[in-house]
Amino acid sequence: MAKTRSFAAKLAHESSLEGKVICPKCNTEVKKIKLIRTRKSKKGSWAPKYDFVSFCKCNEKDILEGKI
């Protein structure tokens, strides 16, 4: 019975990881982060714009440097 119980515990543990996305390139968790950017409107005023972007090791540097 101990074997059955440990199998169930393993399943429970794995299901707790659901919703996580692992990047196939850098093998780290891909997180959704909210970026606030300012965009100049046609009228010439600056308006904040909110974007959700996927964030992992691949584009971490670009995001932190404001390239994306």
Contact call for residue 56 and Zn ion (CB under 5 A): yes
Contact call for residue 25 and Zn ion (CB under 5 A): yes
Contact call for residue 33 and Zn ion (CB under 5 A): no
CB contact set of 63 (below 8 Å; sequence gap of 6+): 33, 35, 53, 55
Q: Angle at the Cα of 7 (from 28 to 15), degrees rounded to 5?
A: 40
Contact call for residue 68 and Zn ion (CB under 5 A): no
Quick one: 26 or 33, whose CB is closer to Zn ion? Answer: 26
Residues that bind Zn ion (CB under 5 A): 23, 25-26, 56-58
